[in-house]
Amino acid sequence: MEERKKEDKITYQWMFPFFIGLLSILLRIPKIPHIYGYDGFEIIWMAHAIKNGALIGQQTWLIHPLSYLGFYPFSQYPVGLPLILAAFLAIGIPLTFSLVTIDILLTVICVIGAYKLSKMFFQKEIYKNTFLIMILLGSKDFYNYTYFTVHPRGVLLALSPWFLYFLFKIRDGKKLVSSIKLLALFSVMILFYRISWLYIIYLIPFAFMVIFSVKKIEEYGIRILGSKVLKMVFLFSVIGIMVVGFIITPDFDVSLQSPIVESTTIISQIATLGMIYFSSLGIISLFLPIGLLSILFIDKSVCAKKRMFLLVTILFMALSWKIPVYSIVLFLPIYAWISVLGIKTSVDMIEKRVKFKYSAYLICSSVILGAAVVFHIIYSLAIVSVKITYFVTLGAIIIYGVFVAFQRYILKIRVKHWMQIFVFSIIIGNVFFLQTTYEGQERYTSLGVAPFTVDYSQNHITEDELLVINYIKTEGIEGIIITSSTALARRIGGMGFLPTIPGYHIEHPLYYGWVSEKEVINNTQFNLTEFIDSFSLKYQGASYEDYILSQIRHLNITRVTTIITLISLNIQYFVAIKNPSDNSIYPCLFHPYGNSSYYIFDSLNRLNPTFSTDYLAVFKIY
């Protein structure tokens, strides 16, 4: 009997991660008709270039060893992810299938790493599973970057649990083997995303944890950490660092088009940041504040050594909180860890006040599920209604029901009802919340008329853009394509592998020979301030894109001299955004960091396009 129970426990331990992985994979089956993303189209373009010989040919942006890692000018991304995608394309696998395959592989990698890491953080299986659910089914960022797209951040988020796992393994034993694995993993991360070098930050709290492991220091440290005065000092220090981080960090990452606020005041920025963190980390992040307080004031919430690691890491999280896109990428496992600690603390506190032992889990699960429903109602009423969310959530409920039935009636494994309800509530609450924020984000940006439909930075490629790509390829391309949107340029350039002017320095100018290798090398230098700001060496030479755009900005397309100028600049096509209500051309260049009026786009209204769709117009110059 005991042997049977032991086997059941082992089977359940590996079955649940398998189920979460399977559910995560099923969620990533495309529910939209076309490829999604913004930066992902640049990765697709790079993959096509590598497939065409950019790694070894003369036509390339890889002009320096740092170019391969994305640290050199005109090399925005390392070659790791494009290289993998190029390999899929080279063996004849279609692009859409290649993207989905890569996304599934990253999901599997993350499932295994997150579960192995959770076993280091928590003793009870219920909290290990909760941690796993939050990472896989609660993180909109991880979902965003691994759903029908490719993005280096998706790779980084998938590997981040492994990074922490090997880091903790160094302290626990097998130091040499774990150190080699950590170094190899870090090298792979750098090859996929240049921001990976910031993971060195983790070595600082790790060093504190190692020092704290010395027996005499640990005994003395526990007494010091137990001081109420020190706890309050640390709490106010964290708040102070958050204020400092808010002041010194640029505003570029704070969305100025938030669905809840439109002004740029400090209060609206904080509200927007709160919305971003809440929607990105998932519904369990409700318990994040409780987890933070438990680390500070409840000594038994986590063992002393790991508590020291968390305390130091929290300082870095506080300093970087105004840049959620990087803070979440760097600290997602930590945010999940603290949130699950918040649930654990809440359960412990409730258990002391109720007679029925397991009602604490049911109360917490009710809070999670209820909060997800309330958020969904508010989101649907105040921002935008969603439709696919209901089908996805219903599918998750059915899949969980099949899993429970298989576990109970086929494998004969009996799990307590309160545990099944708790797990069910967390899974469904996370899926419901995740799908609401994801679909709501997509639908909210598609409500307005063009240019927002085709310009928004997180939108999928449209049918109109695919028609334009097909038209240009049919007509033939010998020159440059100017578009009235940088996002539009990326999508057309990536999906069609066409020479578009994206509006800022990425790989295109070097690859297409618009700037010379010698010019880039001669005008590149290391500047610490610039490197910290852009994670790249500084390029001080002339910008080909800026030169072209400045040359054509005020031109009148109906004049012969304008046509001569365009031909001399090798501009062959204009792809402009139309207002579908009257088919007029928008007179602006839409850029992620600001829009500018361009008379040449306005003057296009005086010509008939050579090709037109509902939202786009193509003008062929020669």
Cα–Cα distance, 421 to 417 (Å, whole number): 6
CA distances for 101 relative to 29, 160, 309, 423, 431, angstroms: 10, 20, 36, 28, 21
Cα–Cα distance, 312 to 210 (Å, whole number): 12
Report residue 379: phi and psi, to 5°.
-60, -45
Cα–Cα distance, 238 to 523 (Å, whole number): 42
CA distances for 69 relative to 78, 446, 522, angstroms: 4, 35, 20
User: What pLDDT sits at residue 251?
Assistant: 64
At 454, is the pLDDT very low, low, confident or very high (cuts 50, 70, 90)? very low
Average pLDDT over every residue of 124-139: 94
Vertex 26 angle, CA 25 and 28, to 5°: 65
- Residues contacting 605, CB < 8 A, separation 6+: 584, 585
Mind listing the pLDDT tens digit for each residue in 560-603?
Answer: 999 999 999 999 999 999 888 888 999 988 877 678 899 999 99
CA distances for 283 relative to 119, 157, 371, 377, angstroms: 22, 18, 7, 14
User: What pLDDT sits at residue 457?
Assistant: 38
User: What pLDDT sits at residue 602?
Assistant: 95
Average pLDDT over every residue of 15-30: 94
For the ranges 163-167, 256-260, 502-506, the lowest mean pLDDT is seen at 256-260
- What angle, rounded to 10 degrees, do the helices at 359-382 and 417-445 form? 10
Mind listing the pLDDT tens digit for each residue in 285-318?
Answer: 999 999 999 998 887 788 888 999 999 999 999 9
Average pLDDT over every residue of 431-438: 94
Mind listing the pLDDT tens digit for each residue in 99-131?
Answer: 999 999 999 999 999 999 999 999 999 999 999
Pairing of strands 596-597, 571-579: unpaired
Mind listing the pLDDT tens digit for each residue in 311-339?
Answer: 999 999 999 999 898 999 999 999 999 99
Residue 132 near residue 53 (C-beta atoms within 8 A): no
User: What pLDDT sits at residue 145?
Assistant: 94
Q: Could you tell me which residue, 222 or 596, shows the higher pLDDT? A: 596
User: What pLDDT sits at residue 6?
Assistant: 57
At 455, is the pLDDT very low, low, confident or very high (cuts 50, 70, 90)? very low
Reply yes or no on whether the pLDDT at 548 is more than 50. yes
Neighbours of 96 (CB within 10 A): 12
> Strand, helix or coil at 507?
coil
At 458, is the pLDDT very low, low, confident or very high (cuts 50, 70, 90)? very low
Q: What is the DSSP letter of 57?
A: S
- Residues contacting 521, CB < 8 A, separation 6+: 63, 64
User: What pLDDT sits at residue 36?
Assistant: 84
Cα–Cα distance, 544 to 425 (Å, whole number): 54
- Which helix (H) or strand (E) segment holds residue 609: the answer is none
Q: Is the peptide bond before 451 cis (omega within 30 degrees of 0)?
A: yes
CA distances for 570 relative to 478, 480, 500, angstroms: 8, 6, 12
> Strand, helix or coil at 293?
helix
Reply yes or no on whether the pLDDT at 451 is more than 70. no
Tokens of 5: 């129970």
At 498, is the pLDDT very low, low, confident or very high (cuts 50, 70, 90)? very high
Pairing of strands 571-579, 480-483: parallel
pTM: 0.93
Closest C-alpha to 153, from 101, 117, 199, 90: 199
Task: Please state the length of the chain.
Answer: 622
Closest C-alpha to 577, from 443, 482, 509, 498: 482
What's the per-residue H, E or C state across 205-234? HHHHHHHHCCHHHHHHHHHHHCCHHHHHHH
Q: Cα dihedral sign for 165, 166, 171, 173?
A: positive
Reply yes or no on whether the pLDDT at 284 is more than 90. yes
Average pLDDT over every residue of 407-432: 89
Average pLDDT over every residue of 605-611: 95
User: What pLDDT sits at residue 413?
Assistant: 82
Q: What is the mean pLDDT of the chain?
A: 89
Cα–Cα distance, 255 to 578 (Å, whole number): 25
Cα–chain center distance at 31: 19
At 262, is the pLDDT very low, low, confident or very high (cuts 50, 70, 90)? low
Cα–Cα distance, 195 to 151 (Å, whole number): 13
User: What pLDDT sits at residue 280?
Assistant: 93
Cα–Cα distance, 74 to 340 (Å, whole number): 41
Cα–Cα distance, 188 to 84 (Å, whole number): 12
Cα–Cα distance, 113 to 107 (Å, whole number): 10
Cα–Cα distance, 103 to 94 (Å, whole number): 14
Residue 438 near residue 143 (C-beta atoms within 8 A): yes
In 62-94, which positions are buried (b, 16+ CB within 10 angstroms) versus exposed (e)? Answer: bbbebbbbbbbbbbbbbbbbbbbbbebbeeeee
Start-to-end Cα distance in the chain: 83
Q: In degrees to the nearest 10, what's the CA dihedral of 86, 87, 93, 98?
A: -70
